[in-house]
Structure 1
Amino acid sequence: MAPAGLQQVVVAGGGIGGLAAALACARQGVPVQLLERAAQLSEVGAGIQIGPNVTRILQAWGLGDALAQVAAFPKRLQARDARTGQVLGSLRLGERAQALYGAPYATIHRADLQAMLHTAVQAAGVDVRLSQTVQGWRETAEGLAVTTAQEVAAGAAQPRGEGAATVPPLMADALIGADGVWSAVRQQLLGDAPARFTGHLAYRALVAQADLPTHLRSDEVTVWMGPRLHVVHYPVRGGQWLNLIAIVHGEKPAQAEAWDSAGHTQSLMQAMGAVGADLHERLVAVPAWRQWALHDRAPMAGTHEMAQGRVALLGDAAHPMRPYLAQGAGMAIEDAQVLGLCLSAEAGSVAERLQAYAEQRWARNARVQARAMRNGRIFHATGPVAWGRNLSMRLMGERVMDVPWLYGSPSPVHSPA
């Protein structure tokens, strides 16, 4: 039975955040329709890290076995100096993460995570509609009339005049904008400036481990830190593939909003400058790179950036963040869990339930955004700051590399009064 006041929730966006939101709501008995602009669900060819705070939720959703089939579970995270190759510190993952946080630390291909969520969403009975681009909404006496680009185009193509058929609007009791960094839902809700270019460019690649020399293969997460750069690589797809991401400082590209442009090894190496032999060998072993420009927003300032009335934002639409804490997808999945629990509450109006969601999520998201920005400055540090970073990691290791406040058990979710 649907929670009181909820006959239809529309989720805009079929990425990881949108699918997670749809699944979390459906699991709580909330009727969901998911609209995705693409003709088929697909993700960029890149890996992501998901910490215990995220794998804990996936397991609670009954996805533990599916995760085990497609992810890798590194036993260690190692930090190294990009110039000298020196090991700066390490953080045990594997059994330690499971013992401390009650869930594993995993690395996974984005497409595998999306496919896993899509399968679960379909099994939960969510109405997934592809080739549907949400443009906005309008308030009516019956609820929200959600506007799609396809509806607008169909209306324009209809013959005009008396007796002409009209395209009925899509009605919803709540609209969840999970439509990414360039969110149309956010634009109407907040009317703020577009996400800002960070000055950082990310190069990514996937390489079959079998195609690499034995000494370049890895079953760990390794982070290389250097002046105005860092590189991270880790296994995905059960360890069969190695995911590499190199981030450098650079000019804003002409197609700044593109997620999947060709990158070139020569351009990457020029931007990085001199690196140690170990790292250099890994980078030049990559046959092809893809590139994208990193965008973010300032840390969230309040609940108004996550929900107003019957409309809420989730994931990158609400809080795009830099990748230096590996929590972009993680925060979207956390958002989704809280959203589902809040919307399923019997008390309060739909607007009050979404306000409860925003109240319980905005400050944590802001903290993660700020910490990710701080980590970026540390990873890319030069001079005395880099020296201090290296010294502290050598002396304190796990104490400065672990993030208990992030990975530990979350606060309980509170329903609206």
Structure 2
Amino acid sequence: MSRRTLIVGGGIGGLAAALACARAGAQVELFERAREFTEVGAGIQLGPNVVKILHGWGLKDGLAGVAAFPDRLQVRSALSGAELGVLRLGAVAMARYGSPYATIHRADLHGLLLAALKPQAAVQLNLASPVDRFMQQAEGVTLHAADGREVKGDVLVGADGLWSRVRDQLLNDGAPRTTGHLAYRALVPQSSLPERLRSQQVTAWLGPRMHVVQYPVRGGEWLNVVAIVHGQMHGDVENWDHSANPARLRSAMAATCAPLIDLIDAIDHWRLWALSIRPPMRAANEQAHGRVALLGDAAHPMLPYLAQGAGMAIEDADELGRALATESLDVPAALRLYAGRRWQRNARVQAGAIRNGQIFHAGGVVRWGRDAAMKLLGERLLDMPWLYRGV
């Protein structure tokens, strides 16, 4: 059954949805407001739950060519530098979950999805195509583009991110709220760093009111570093990619251990954004209603403290394709199936990420308890079978 699927948003979630729906036999038309497909210079982590889906979509070789596959995730104290716990990745993750743990540049994953879409005759990609609104009817949905065009389809997918216009019209539940957490991001060639600062593993440094995560991307040739501190952004929080003042970050890191200070001092160029959030999902109708589905950050924006924002968008896309391929169901029923299978898992990941942020940034007695528990339990505390096994 060829269902005409209209997708708003050309980020990782939108492209993943287009690929999953095309693989399910849908006719896909995607609308991206930017004049070209781009992704910002930042890395993301892909758990085995996500890598399994990408492999299933035929992207195994392409992913192997651009990602890194760390052997371990190490947690260290940002104050003392002491190792608190280790989660084995690499062959251990492969044996446990059937897929590896990967780290990748966002632009490389975006490019991989785009390259898979371009040869597909059933997919039409529209750039410089902002969308004003949509209308649902019993027999379909009509998308009204900013240039005056009206496009009719069987289903509409809002994959237009945290500040989604599709969500705003569908749910009318207000804007996301800022969290008071600021994220500094940097990507640097490993060859530009002193040998002692280069790394092929994931390292999370935990400290009071801050933490830093570093990991390799681009086959290990580049290092992605994310430092999150408490503070407020002055300016447009919707435009999350701002230039940053390295001196402010270095000041926030002044009380941390020498190895972490050395890493921060070795990087001169940072980008900054304010983290914004919505409450964890409360019902299936926040994921889909009628002929309109929400996907990724448009449905369930996630703080980065479980490293699953892109992962949940890709899981959404895979489930959406499966639901729309169920020929015995009409579109509203297929989307109810999609929402019913996704919203509770997404809500659990949202809540877990919020909780992790509190644990990562804890001070005082809570910090001591966290460190003691991690030293005692190690991998049993860091591994998450409920998440990494997928759905």
Q: Does 1:358 align with 2:355?
A: no
**Counterpart residue identity of residue 299, structure 1:** P
Answer yes or no: is the 8 Å Cα contact 2:200–2:215 preserved in 1.
Answer: yes
Q: Which residue of 2 aligns with 1:375?
A: 356
Q: Which residue matches 1:384?
A: 365
Which residue of the other structure, out of 321, 324, 327, is the alignment partner of 2:305? 324
Identify the match of residue 214 of structure 1 among 153, 170, 195: 195
Question: Which 4+ runs in 1 deviate beyond 6 A?
Answer: none
1:255 aligns to 2:236 (yes or no): yes
Question: Which of 253, 268, 275 is residue 287 of structure 1 equivalent to?
Answer: 268
Deviation digits for residues 238-269 of structure 1 (CA, Å, limit 9, x no counterpart): 00000000000001321211121111111112
Partner of 2:281: 300
Measure the CA separation in 1 of the matches of 2:35 and 2:379: 45
TM norm structure 2: 0.98
- 2:127 corresponds to: 130
Aligned to 2:316: 335
Q: CA–CA distance in 2 between the matches of 1:140 and 1:308? A: 12
Partner Cα distance (2:366, 2:138) in 1: 58
Residue of structure 1 equivalent to 2:178: 197
| Alpha-carbon distance between aligned partners in 1 of 2:153 and 2:323, rounded to the nearest angstrom | 17
Instruction: Determine the structure 2 residue equivalent to 1:399.
Output: 380
Tell me what 1:43 maps to. Answer: 39
Q: CA deviation at 1:71?
A: 0.2
- Uncovered stretches (5+) of structure 1, i.e. residues with no partner: 152-166, 411-417
- The alpha-carbon distance between structure 1 residues 210 and 140, as it changes in their structure 2 partners (threshold 3 A), is same
Deviation at 1:409, TM superposition (A): 4.2
Contact 2:281–2:346 (8 Å) recurs in 1: yes
C-alpha contact (below 8 Å) 1:27/1:124 kept by paired residues: no
Query: Residue in 1 aligned with 2:291?
Result: 310
State the AA in 1 paired with 2:261: H
Question: What is the correspondence of 1:8-23 to structure 2 with a 5 Å cutoff?
Answer: 8-23=4-19
| Counterpart contact for 1:250–1:271, Cα < 8 Å | no
Q: Give, as a single letter, the amino acid of the residue that structure 1 aligns with 2:14.
A: G
Find the residue that maps to 1:253 and give its secondary structure. coil
Q: Which residue of 1 aligns with 2:252?
A: 271
TM normalised by structure 1 equals 0.92
Q: Which residue of 2 aligns with 1:145?
A: 142
Residues in 2 aligned to 1:132 and 1:148: alpha-carbon distance in whole angstroms: 7
Amino acid at match of 2:140: G
Please give the secondary structure, in 2, of the residue aligned with 1:33. Answer: strand
Among 36, 43, 50, which residue is 1:54 paired with? 50
1:58 Cα deviation after fit: 0.2
Q: Offset of 1:272 from its aligned partner?
A: 3.6
User: Is the CA contact 2:73–2:88 (under 8 Å) kept in the aligned structure 1?
Assistant: yes
Deviation, structure 1 residue 63 = 0.2
RMSD in angstroms over aligned alpha carbons? 1.0
* Alignment pair present for 1:63 and 2:44: no
Cα deviation for residue 273 of structure 1 reads 4.1
Q: Work out whether residues 136 and 291 of structure 2, in 8 Å CA contact, stay in contact via their aligned partners in 1.
A: no
Indicate if the aligned counterparts of 1:73 and 1:94 stay in contact, CA closer than 8 A.
yes
Could you tell me which amino acid in structure 1 is paired with residue 136 of structure 2? Answer: E
Deviation at 1:135, TM superposition (A): 2.0
**Number of the residue aligned with 1:26:** 22
Q: Aligned AA for 1:113? A: L
Q: Secondary structure at the match of 1:275?
A: coil
For the residue of structure 1 that corresponds to 2:108, the secondary structure is: helix
1:361-395 deviation per Cα after TM superposition (whole angstroms, max 9, x unaligned): 00000000000011111100000110011001111
The amino acid that maps onto 2:232 is E
Task: Give distance in 2, aligned partners of 1:304 and 1:409.
Answer: 22
* Whole-angstrom CA distance in 2 between matches of 1:357 and 1:88: 39
Residues 264-305 of structure 1 deviation map (CA, whole Å, 9 limit, x = unaligned): 111112234411101000001002000001111100000110
- Bigger radius of gyration, 1 or 2? 1
Q: Which letter maps to 1:92?
A: R
Provide Cα deviations, 1:319-357, integer angstroms capped at 9, x if missing partner. 001000000000000000000000111112101100110
Residues in 1 aligned to 2:352 and 2:23: alpha-carbon distance in whole angstroms: 31
Note the residue ranges of structure 2 that are not aligned, 5 or more in a row.
Answer: none
Deviation at 1:121, TM superposition (A): 1.3
Deviation at 1:142, TM superposition (A): 5.2
Q: Provide the rounded CA distance (Å) in 2 between the counterparts of 1:263 and 1:44.
A: 15
Amino acid at match of 2:17: A
* Aligned residue number for residue 173 of structure 1: 154
Indicate the SS of the match to 1:150. coil
CA contact (8 A) 1:197 1:252 kept: no
Write out per-residue CA displacement over residues 81-114 of structure 1, whole angstroms, 9 at most, x where no aligned residue.
0011001011100000000000000000000000
